[in-house]
Structures are given as C-alpha cells and as structure tokens.
Amino acid sequence: MPFTDRAQINVEGGHGGNGCMSFRREPKIPKGGPDGGNGGRGGKVVLVADEQVTDLSRFRHAVHHRAPNGGHGEGKNRHGPAGSELIVPVPPGTRVIRDGHTIAQLDAVGDRVPVARGGDGGVGNRAFRSSTHRAPRTTVPGGPGEEAWITLELRLPIDAALVGLPNSGKSALLEALTGAAVVVAAYPQSTREPAFGPLEDEDGVLYTLADLPGLDAEGVHRRDGHLEQLERARLVIHCVDAADPEPAADRIARAEAGLTTFIPPDAVRLLVATRADEEGADTSFADVAVDAVTGTGVPELRARILSALS
Ligand SMILES: Nc1nc2c(ncn2[C@@H]2O[C@H](COP(=O)(O)OP(=O)(O)OP(=O)(O)O)[C@@H](O)[C@H]2O)c(=O)[nH]1
Ligand SMILES: [Mg+2]
C-alpha cells in the first residue's frame, strides 16, 4: 500500500455496564436485601507509538476503533468487570489532532495518549439501600463511551534527508551510505515512496537517513511527493548529478525552487555531486563529491553527515 502520512479515524470508548436490580433470595431468609452489583466502566481507546508500524496506510481501511464494553452488574453484589483498553498502534512521529488542536505528538516508541474515555459503569440497586430505604428498586444504566473523529498526521522522525531531481542518485547514495536495500534504476522517478536507512556514529548512536523523492524533472513537488516529511530533518542533502550535460546551476536552481517551502529554516544544508567518477563529470559546484558505484567520497560524506547531526 502506498506510503500514507494522513488519516482520519473514529474512536469510541466502550459502553459502561448496567447496574443490576436484584434481591437476595435464600430459603431461610424471607426478606433478603438488595444485592444488585454495579456495572463496569467501558474501556478507553489509547494510541501508542509502535516501531512495527511505519506509516498510516492501515487506517485507510481500519477507520473505526471501539473499545470493549464494561460488564453488567449481577446479583449477589457482583460488579461487572471494566472493559479492557483498546490499544491502537501508530507509527512513531504521529501527531494526534482533535478539533483542530494537536493533543499529542507520539515520537518515542511507547508514547501513548488516550483519545476516547470509556462510559461510566451503572449503579446497582444495592448501592441505593439506606436506613429508610431497605428495598430500593432504583438502578442506573451504564453511560456511553466518548466518541470522536481524530486526525492523524505522520511527520517522520528523520535526521537527514537526500533530496534532488529525479535520477540524481539519491537511492544509490542511500544504499552506499546505509546499506539499505532500495530500488536504484536508470530511469527517473524510480523511487515513488520515502525510503530509509540507519547511520551509526562511533558511539553507537543511530540516525535515520531518508531518501525523499518527490520532485519531478521540472523541480515541482509531485502529487504524493511527501516532501512534507522534511519538516523534522536537521540536515538536508541536495543531490546533483555531476555527469549531466545540462549546467548544474540551472538544475540546482530548479530543484531549490521546488524544495524551498519544505526545507526547515534551521536545517543544515549540504550540496552533493553524484556520479563524480563518470566521464566528463564536473563537481566544482559541490560541498562533497561522491560516486556511489566506485565508492569515491562516500566515507567523507558519511563523516560530514554524522558531524552535522551529533
Ligand atoms: N556511475 C554512477 N552511477 C550512479 C551513481 N549514482 C547513481 N547512479 C546510477 O544512476 C541511476 C539513477 O540513480 P538512482 O539512485 O536510482 O537515482 P534517484 O535519484 O534515486 O532517482 P529517482 O528515484 O528516480 O528519483 C541508476 O542507474 C544508478 O545506478 C554514481 O554515483 N555513479
Ligand atoms: Mg530513487
């Protein structure tokens, strides 16, 4: 399923269980007192950041999420059990929006936010007994669970991103730098979706490097380009094909025009020439020159990235 960074879901807490009306009946006790138990509270719905989930695509089909009901009260003062909570796993980086307000940003694995309360449990007739009221027939039914529409927006917690025109060598570079298995192909826009790989510094700290395609050959953000995912990147690496006969300055300007609205103002920038070892390559415009096939410049680029991030 295509990478999905936005979803609307409906969440509903479980219904509270009803209070019970019951009187104690035993052969030797003619007038047993009231013994109807209370209903259990309905379960709540909780969103939890889970590393197994990488985007919001499952919510295209899984729209309604309802927590279990509380159990009804019963005779002999038995209270109904509370409904268990419904855990809805979401990808780390999920922003939770309700009525236009962000109510949570679930970044770390295990971060959680309750989004729908369970209904109150009902009250059994036993609870209404008093010195003046020895045989109450009053009970309270369980209350409804809270219901809401929630918007989920994914902003991936990526540290650095490779961007650039189609066919500029982003995927090949992601693979050379991180070993991630990616689609590398000799035709433009071979990568349609964001791809990721890990980068580890010498202290063992892991960073996420992303390949964010998204520009077309004109430098325009294409539909479903997902360049919004740049929002949290601290380092943006602009890849430019050094072996392309069209002047690099023109291609850089074209790509920058499309990228400008997406690049966070305080992000560190790096201009990288790719295909540096190809015939006729001109790398004079770049901060770093690399060749993903021969490996030229790759260790240097990795060091530059890690020093910018740490
Ligand atoms: N010789 C050489 N070829 C490269 C290098 N980088 C990429 N290529 C080749 O250039 C073509 C495009 O590379 P990709 O990594 O797929 O480019 P991309 O920017 O991911 O392209 P899209 O996903 O289509 O936007 C592939 O055939 C690669 O093998 C490089 O540094 N040296
Ligand atoms: Mg690619």
Residue identifier of the C-alpha nearest atom 16 of ligand 1: 184
Residue holding tokens 């890690």?
306
- Quote the CA–CA distance of 134 and 156 in Å, as a whole number: 62
The percent helix, strand, coil of the chain (3-state, each to 5) is 15, 30, 55
- Please tell me what DSSP assigns to residue 231: G
Angle subtended by helix axes 298-309 and 170-178, to nearest 10: 80
Dihedral pair phi/psi, residue 88, rounded to 5°: -110, 110
**Residues that place a CB less than 5 A from ion ligand 2:** 171, 191
* Residue 173 CA to ligand 1 centre (angstroms): 8
CATH topology identical between 1-155 and 160-309: no
CA R_g for the chain: 29
Class of the CATH domain delimited by 160-309:
alpha beta
CATH topology of domain 1-155: Spo0b-associated Gtp-binding Protein; Chain: A, (2.70.210)
Residue identifier of the C-alpha nearest atom 7 of ligand 1: 169
Testing ligand 1's pocket by substitution, the residue of 162, 170, 183 carrying the most ligand atoms inside 8 A of its CB is 170
Closest CA to 43 of 9, 17, 71, 70: 70
Domain boundaries, the chain: 1-155, 160-309
Residue identifier of the C-alpha nearest atom 3 of ligand 1: 275
- Please tell me what DSSP assigns to residue 309: H
Residue identifier of the C-alpha nearest atom 22 of ligand 1: 189
Tens of pLDDT along the chain (310 residues)?
A: 788 999 999 999 999 999 999 999 887 777 789 999 999 999 999 999 999 998 999 999 999 999 999 999 999 999 999 999 999 999 999 999 999 999 999 999 999 999 999 999 999 999 999 999 989 999 999 999 999 999 999 998 899 999 999 999 999 999 999 988 777 777 777 778 888 899 999 999 999 999 999 999 999 999 888 999 999 999 999 999 999 999 999 999 999 999 999 999 999 999 999 999 999 999 999 999 999 999 999 999 999 999 999 8
Ligand 1 binding site (Cβ under 6 Å of any ligand atom): 166-172, 184-186, 188-191, 213, 274-275, 278, 291-293
Instruction: Write the CA distances from 164 to 167, 256, 273, integer angstroms.
Output: 8, 8, 11
* Both tokens assigned to 27: 């052969």
